[in-house]
A and B are shown apart, each in its own frame.
Chain A
């Protein structure tokens, strides 16, 4: 692994199903983030974590949950998917005071 790995790359999900998007980084960054990207709306922050064991809500947290059990992993869970959660999801990480964000390659999720 070099950087941030997201899985799956894409997924089609039936409405009402539970889904966890995975994100793993190997840079020992203390902060991690989940964004969703929708046409015309840019990137919007869902949840974030400043350090292992802590999480916080972003701009659009409803319907999503996260956990940060260790430094490397930051999974995003949709408890009961709805079509409005169809989007491209990006995970990112940063180390406070350093050189900016590193993004994963994204997960394209379609809820039908």
Chain B
């Protein structure tokens, strides 16, 4: 099956810093999503981005489907950005809308 690799696995940054999280996938995908799991465990959908670039405030994401990767950018980090960021993909041959998660990047923003 499709493999989803996220890097780095862990990231510690000072408040105000910028960061780039990467998601590589091994096969063609119909769509790709980025999620943030906050320290209380809640999973929030950040972007639904099968291709191209989207921005939402300090966060933006770019997916280059032909090269099988996606990037999540966080600018001017705040402590509330801490948590785990997951990339999830729907394989191209998947008829059931099932998505496969990467193992996540754990981000810790220091005040």
Which A residues contact B (CB, under 8 angstroms)? 31, 33, 35, 40-45, 48, 50, 56, 58, 88, 90, 92, 94, 96, 99-103, 105-106
B42 at the interface (CB under 8 A from A): yes
Contact residues in A for B31 (Cβ distance below 8 Å): 100
Q: Number of residues in B with C-beta < 8 Å to the partner?
A: 20
Question: Is B98 in contact with A90, judged by CB distance below 8 angstroms?
Answer: no
Chain A residue at smallest Cβ distance from B44: A103
User: Residues of A contacting B80 with CB < 8 Å?
Assistant: none
A103 CA / B45 CA spacing, docked (Å): 8
Cα A33 to Cα B101 with chains together (Å):
13
Q: How far is the CA of A30 from the CA of B44 in the complex (A)?
A: 19
Bound together, the chains give a CA A89 to CA B99 distance in angstroms of 16
Q: Secondary structure at chain A's binding surface: helix, strand, loop or mixed?
A: strand
Minimal beta-carbon separation of A14 from chain B (angstroms): 24
Q: Is the CB of B33 within 8 A of A101?
A: yes
B103 interfacial contact with A, CB 8 Å: yes
Instruction: Determine which of B41, B45, B102, B104 lies in contact with A102 in the assembled complex, contact meaning CB atoms within 8 Å.
Output: B45
Complex CA distance for A74 and B104, rounded to whole angstroms: 26
Residue of A nearest to B1 (CB): A59
Chain B, residues 12-37, CB within 8 Å of chain A (1/0): the string is 00000000000000000001010100
B contact residues around A48 at 8 Å (CB):
96, 98
User: Max chain B CB contacts within 10 Å: which of A35, A44, A50, A94?
Assistant: A94
- Closest A residue to B96 by beta carbon equals A50
| Bound CA span A94–B102, Å | 19
